[in-house]
Copies of this chain bind each other. A is one copy, B any other.
Amino acid sequence: MFKNILIIGFGMIGSSIAQSAKKSNKAIKIYAFDKSPTLKQRLENAKLSKVTLLKSLSDINQIDIDLIIICTPVLQYLSIFKKINNLDNHKFIVTDVGSTKYKIEDLYTKNNFKFRFVPAHPIAGIEKSGLEYGFEGLFKNRYNIICPIKNTPKSEINKIVKFWKSLFMKIEIMTSKEHDHVLSLTSHLPHVISYSLVLTAMKKEKSLNSKLIKFSAGGFRDFTRVAGSDPEMWRDIFLTNSDQIQKLTNTFIAELKKFSKDLNSKNSKNLLKKLELTKKVRNRIVKARQAGKFIPND
């Protein structure tokens, strides 16, 4: 197993990886590289002072890093890839946590980078960003989608699979294309919708005085949770899967128009049927233990 792990981009996800990896293997050493100038102090405040800060990526070779996990927004990958590629030797394997996969694979293969790379996407997260919000159990029982690049030796894929499994994750293997297709529906479109709903609400807010926030518990608040995610991370996700997202948004708009048409008493039966159908989907998610738990009152 890996002994020296470098996490590039030490936010909520990076910090959760550090804590989970330490829990599963106390001997593991965690290194962090991050552009935040206050990282050292913040690590100490969060009681993560055992994480060693790297000043430069060129230190990688001297300290025998054997695993690099990239946890930055996706559009920062190119510059990171270049720096990694320029190192003297590539003893390490690189994995990541990026939410889009096809454009990243494309970036890696087109540039003929020489380091080994096994892309991954742990489907786990909360809407808060910053290392302070990381926690050890984030990945437990969650899925991780591994999207191996063509011609990667099985032994290397297996090493990465084993690592994520050691954080108690369930592994799925698929191509980067399939990943982006699935995620455009289960994650990217829901985010587009959330952001757009919050923007709609902001426009109407003046006519509602303070009532938007006060009465948000009727449904609106659920959407703001998703829309509270890290802006830069989501900008990058949107820009690196925009074609699929835009197509799907159009399909959704068509469905929305049909639903809106059904909102009159003539179509009452049709409407009830739709509401019964959707309830069943919810029940399946609960049964699959992917629902999470919502406590209405804080």
Distance of A144 from chain B, by nearest CB (Å): 10
Interface size for chain A: under 10, 10 to 19, 20 to 34, or 35 or more residues? 35 or more
Which residues of chain B have C-beta atoms less than 8 A from A181's C-beta? 207-208
Q: Which of A194, A198, A256 has the most CB atoms of chain B within a 10 A radius of its CB?
A: A256
- Complex Cα gap A221–B274 (Å): 18
Q: Do A142 and B217 touch (CB < 8 A)?
A: yes
Q: Do B275 and A234 touch (CB < 8 A)?
A: yes
- Complex Cα gap A288–B223 (Å): 16
Residues A186 and B199 in contact in the complex (CB < 8 Å), given A221-B285, A245-B263, A264-B239: no
Q: Which of A283-298 contact B (CB under 8 A)?
A: 283-285, 288-298
> Which B residue sits closest to A220, measured CB to CB?
B186
Q: Taking the complex as formed, is A61 at the interface, i.e. its CB lies under 8 A from any CB of chain B?
A: no
Residues 107-149 of A, flagged 1 when their CB comes within 8 A of B and 0 if not, give 0000000000000000111110000000001101111010000
- Give the top 3 A-B pairs by smallest Cβ distance, nearest first: A187-B218, A228-B282, A190-B219
| A residues adjacent to B (C-beta < 8 A) | 99, 123-127, 137-138, 140-143, 145, 172, 181-183, 185-204, 207-208, 211-229, 231-232, 234-235, 238-239, 242, 245-246, 248-253, 255-257, 259-260, 263-265, 268, 271-272, 274-279, 281-285, 288-298
